[in-house]
Amino acid sequence: MDSGLVYFVAYILLFSGACIGLGFWHICMRRDRPPVEFKLLRGPGETLRRGLAKSDENLMLHVGGWALLPLVVFGASGWIGKQVEAWAQAWVILSVIVLLFAIALLYSIRGVVRGILQYRSNWLGYMGERFVGEKLTPLEREGYRVYHDIPAAAGDRKFNLDHVVVGPTGLWLVETKTRRKGRARPGFKDSEVTFDGIQLIWPWGEDRKYLKQADDRARWLSEEVKRLTGIDIAARPILALPGWWVNERKLGSVRVLNPINIPSAIRGRGQRVLGDDQIDLIARQLEDRCRDVED
């Protein structure tokens, strides 16, 4: 038997054996029970944190497949070269192998690049939500309850509420959008976004989708709170833009703020809207949805 094929088969057997061994070890470890069934509250960006972990797994899978491809081609080409007597046939077969190798390699590179881009996007969003979460924390010392990354669903569509604050001044939905800064148009500052009451004016263009998303999710939250508690209160939406200087030229149905300014906006003039019993009732429902972190 060709030595190249022997090495290749030995590598596959060792790799498979290691995977099987790790699988059995994992099963054995799962038999040990922790002293308590941990179900922690979600932190800021919990969904994105899980996305980052998934991106790590996918990236390692693609990189591992990429590293294995040359070994597959080496073993296959060596074995085929020994089996084929006619050089013309050998070259045809080897050409097909090289072509398949190139296709597989390009696919692996594409997967790695997409994984890296997804990782960068998730990382930026995760850090943005963490930043906003930190700015909301001081409100907890003033009688407010703050929850993050609340799972939600409307029909078949699943989504999450980035941050929800409930306290004396009412119910607030904070949607975080963290965007990188790019090249600005002439006459625009690359670090400033303007809200004219209708749309966001970025240095590179205008859009309304983030405003609509915040408004829709606040409306969903209001309906859900009323369904679960009977308390009829309109959740007030805030769009948080970490790292941006926000110029609110005109107020709209959605407040657009730098996270640093969100606590003062929530406090407002201190006019009490909810009583302590109402705050506790709403908070219990929100906490039930958020207490699902086990890893």
* 14 confidence band (pLDDT: 50, 70, 90): confident
pLDDT score for 20:
77
pLDDT tens digits for range 136-149: 999 999 999 999 99
Query: How large is the average pLDDT for residues 204-211?
Result: 94
3 or 54: which carries more pLDDT confidence?
54
Does 275 have pLDDT greater than 60?
yes
Residues 6+ apart with CB under 8 A from 232: 226
- The domain spans of the chain are 1-31, 32-131, 142-293
pTM score, whole prediction: 0.78
Residues 6+ apart with CB under 8 A from 19: none
Residue type present at position 293: V
Residue type present at position 63: V
Query: How large is the average pLDDT for residues 92-120?
Result: 75
* 115 confidence band (pLDDT: 50, 70, 90): confident
Does 104 have pLDDT greater than 80?
no
CB hemisphere CA count around 265 (13 angstroms): 23
Nearest in space to 164 (alpha carbons), one of 178, 177, 179, 151:
151
Q: Are strands 157-167 and 145-154 parallel, antiparallel or unpaired?
A: antiparallel
pLDDT score for 293:
85
pLDDT score for 241:
97
